Amino acid sequence: YGGNKPAYPCDIWQYTETGNVPGIGKCDLNQLIGNKPLSWFTESVPKQENVQAQVSKQNIIQSGAFSPYETPDVMGALTSLK
């Protein structure tokens, strides 16, 4: 904060830490400088209830949880799901 606007892309710029808002007092002041409207930051996202993605089982791969000795068995099980 303080100096010039950022030279890199961002959405919000805190341009001072010594602002003053009537009824609030001392606070940081920010400015929207990206393409997003204020509502993007302030509105809540609707909650999705009981929505599950449909994922084909043969496209699920677990990595890092199997030893090298178990990998052939796991790959065989996954390919048998086709």
What's the angle, vertex CA 3, arms to CA 22 and CA 32, rounded to 5?
55
Residue type, 15: Y
Between CA 6 and CA 13 the distance in angstroms is: 7
- Give the pLDDT confidence score for residue 40 in this predicted structure: 87
Looking at every residue in the chain, the average pLDDT score rounds to 75
Interval 50-81: pLDDT, tens = 555 555 555 555 555 556 666 677 677 767 76
Taking the C-alpha atoms of residue 51 and residue 48, their distance in angstroms, rounded to an integer, is: 6
